[in-house]
Amino acid sequence: MSSDCIFCKIVNKEIPSNFIFENDKVIAFNDLNPQAPVHFLVIPKKHYSSLNDIDSKEAFADIFSAIPEITKKLEIKEYRTVVNTGESAGQTVFHIHVHVMAGRKFDWPAG
């Protein structure tokens, strides 16, 4: 865990958050700046700065296996997932997180 990472503080419950999902490896919570009617983040409890820092297939699987479980629970069948890696790609919090968005039509390219 990184002591100055806001997502680590959320994982450690130092910052209150309403989790929409939690298991022993990941948590999910609504994005504070939603870009769609449904917009939540899925993050590992273990700190990885970005996708480039994931050190095992299991960590990757933990994150992405939770997403269908969450979307089924929320009765969401169509959604977009986004992982920004690096500042120029739009990553603003350097703890890997997957954006899951739904509830509107998405265009491509994303922009």
pLDDT single digits (tens) 40-92: 999 999 999 999 999 889 999 999 999 999 999 999 999 999 999 999 999 99
| Greatest pairwise CA separation for the chain in angstroms | 38
- In order of their start, the domains of the chain are 6-102 (3.30.428.10)
Predicted TM-score (pTM) of this structure: 0.93
- The mean pLDDT of the chain is 94
90 vs 23: CA distance, rounded Å? 27
Active-site pick, 39, 95, 97, 99: 97
CA atoms lying within 13 Å on the CB side of residue 7: 24
Q: Mark whether 47 is an active-site residue.
A: no
Contact 97, 11 (CB under 8 A): no
d(CA 27, CA 39): 14
